[in-house]
Chain A
Amino acid sequence: MDTIEQIPVADELFRWSDDGADLIGSRCRGCGAQYFPKSLSCRNPQCDEKAVEPVLLGRHGRLHSYTIQHYQPPGLFRMDPFTPYAIGLVELPGGLRVMGMLAGCGFDNLRIGMPVELSVDVLYRDEAGREVITYTYRPGPEGKAS
């Protein structure tokens, strides 16, 4: 069976395998502040060290808020076929909040505070037949998000 090649929608943003998906961010060695995506510098004004290093952010979080995108966004965003979808704001342990598409959950079942887990989903197939994927959050197990 042929395997369809998958490519990320942007480089150096996330990694994935059969084992799961991880967001690639930065962590400051001086103050511990976390950033997504990778940052040029630490932004904490109380931090003088400003030594950021790449870090894999936690896979689990809680849904802080969400919305349903009813209209097809312009140009750069591609999804074939387009259907209305949910976008969530997910709070990770430590306080960083990350926006991302929500998958694997009916709109009516979305609840603020629900545990979610990082995943990846296909947005579209490119001209070379490759699947272009983005990171998503799906309903996750209780007990891992806080």
Chain B
Amino acid sequence: MRPVYVLGVGAHPWGKFPDKPQLHLAIEALSAALDDAGLGWRNLQGLVAASSRFEGGMGWGLHANEVLQAVAEIGVPAVNVGGGCAAGGIAVHTAASMVASGQCEVIAAVGAERMPKGFIPRPPGCPDDITDTDYLRWVTMGATNPVYWALEARRRMHDFGTTAETLAAASVLMHHHAAANPLARYRKECSVEDVLNSPAVADPLHLLEICAVSDGAAAVILGSEEQARRRGVPLVEVAGSAIATGQFGDPAARIPTVSMSAVGTAPHTSEVVGAVRGALAQAGMEPSDVDFVELADNTAWHVLAWPEFFGFVEPGQSDWMIEHGQMGIDGKLPINPSGGFLSFGEATTAQGVLQVCELVWQLRQQAQGRQVPGARVGLSAVLGLGANGASVVLKA
């Protein structure tokens, strides 16, 4: 296996774009990434797309061949990967593997999504019986996604004494970071009072503590060391990349299941913890080597809990970190300098790719107004429906 480098990154701003099909969002993000790399479509030797179900021809969701057929019929391999909201991370991982193995000199990974409004509905064509837990969670108890996160948040309050104010402060921090990010959809600063006064969705979580759904797209161009050096820009290496699935006995309340066997020794949110551990191991690094993290903050609870699950912070200590500004851009462990899902609204499959874009902007010291001082190593972590996890470690 050979080293893999980031040649270019690009993203379409997040928001709601009813007049712009998913394919257009994908092409704009890819074009921006190619421009950033100083490359043209004809230079690509492969394209990996993060597929999800909401839009896209042939019922496949976004697919790489659709993009190529629309904009550049160059005959290269097209790979479409699933994995729910982790698909973006899995796409980057797949593209990195194709460079590392020597199959490609230059390859792109893309995620693009236009989300339905409000609560994410069940896809058509699923069986209406007990073999489909997504069906069950709706008909038996109407368990929305926020319900799952709220169960975790309530339990954390019981276990560690986390207060409503600290949960709110985590959301305030994400919105503070996003104020300087032109790609974010929600860029207005808010206060703890604003968060606590926003409508209660699933107690103890309020509207401003839960990520909305958005439209957006992001792309990453990866290549060999030779390709990277030819560009003559600061080198950003894919030091580690891993994907993983859930482990037996994981106590996480996992969407859309209605039960869990909390009997084993598996870590909480094991699909993501497994990916993070794998990416760090490949990079030959410890959590203390990481300067900042981009994680999937579907809620304020994730901002507190995930760094603990990954071993970056002792269990229960994230509250102190938040309360003392240590997860801010100038803190000990900056979390989501981009503003995270809470400020972007989740464009599912695009989100994992956007995380990698933000790592690159930070490591190139190009993150104006939200730059983590001296950032040299960044880690991403994303969770997808169906117990999928992905994580990337980038090094400047």
Contact = CB atoms under 8 A, between A and B. Distances in A.
A and B pair up: yes
Interface of A: 9-13, 25, 33-38, 40, 43-46, 64-79, 87, 89, 91, 94-101, 107, 112, 134-135
A79 B142 CA distance: 9
B142 A73 contact: yes
Given A13-B140, A65-B151, A37 B158 contact: no
Contact of B258 (A37, A43, A68): A37
25 contacts: A9-B139, A9-B140, A13-B130, A33-B263, A34-B261, A35-B259, A36-B259, A38-B130, A45-B248, A66-B151, A67-B154, A67-B204, A67-B205, A68-B202, A70-B200, A71-B201, A73-B119, A73-B143, A75-B138, A76-B135, A89-B151, A95-B261, A97-B259, A97-B261, A99-B141
A69 B258 contact: no
B135 A73 contact: no
Given A70-B200, A99-B137, 14 more contacts: A10-B140, A65-B154, A65-B158, A66-B151, A67-B203, A67-B205, A69-B202, A73-B143, A74-B119, A76-B142, A79-B142, A87-B141, A97-B259, A100-B140
B121 interface: yes
A71 B146 CA distance: 11
A134 B204 CA distance: 25
A66 B141 CA distance: 13
A127 to B, nearest CB: 16
Interface residues of B, number: 42
B136 interface: yes
A11 B201 CA distance: 30
A138 B152 CA distance: 21
Interface string B9-31: 00000000000000000000000
A116 B39 CA distance: 63
Nearest to B122: A76
A96 B202 CA distance: 23
Contacts of B78: none
B259 A98 contact: yes
Interface of B: 118-119, 121-122, 129-131, 133, 135-144, 147, 150-152, 154-155, 158, 199-205, 248, 251, 253, 258-264
Contact of A87 (B133, B147, B264): B147
Contact of A69 (B129, B144, B253): B144
Contacts of B260: 96-97
A40 to B, nearest CB: 8
A72 B118 CA distance: 12
A98 B203 CA distance: 19
A73 B118 CA distance: 10
A89 B253 contact: yes
B248 A44 contact: yes
A67 B259 contact: no
Question: Which of A10, A11, A40, A78 has the most chain B CB atoms inside 10 A of its CB?
Answer: A10
10 tightest A-B CB contacts, nearest first: A77-B142, A73-B142, A67-B150, A76-B138, A68-B203, A95-B263, A65-B155, A36-B259, A65-B151, A37-B130
Nearest to A37: B130
Contacts of B201: 70-71
Given A43-B248, A44-B248, A33 B261 contact: yes
Nearest to B246: A43
B151 A87 contact: yes
B259 A12 contact: no
A142 B187 CA distance: 50
Contacts of A73: 119, 138, 142-144
B263 A37 contact: no
Given A11-B129, A95-B263, A97-B262, A66 B154 contact: yes
A97 to B, nearest CB: 5
A101 B262 CA distance: 20
A23 to B, nearest CB: 9
Contacts of B131: 40
A17 B156 CA distance: 37
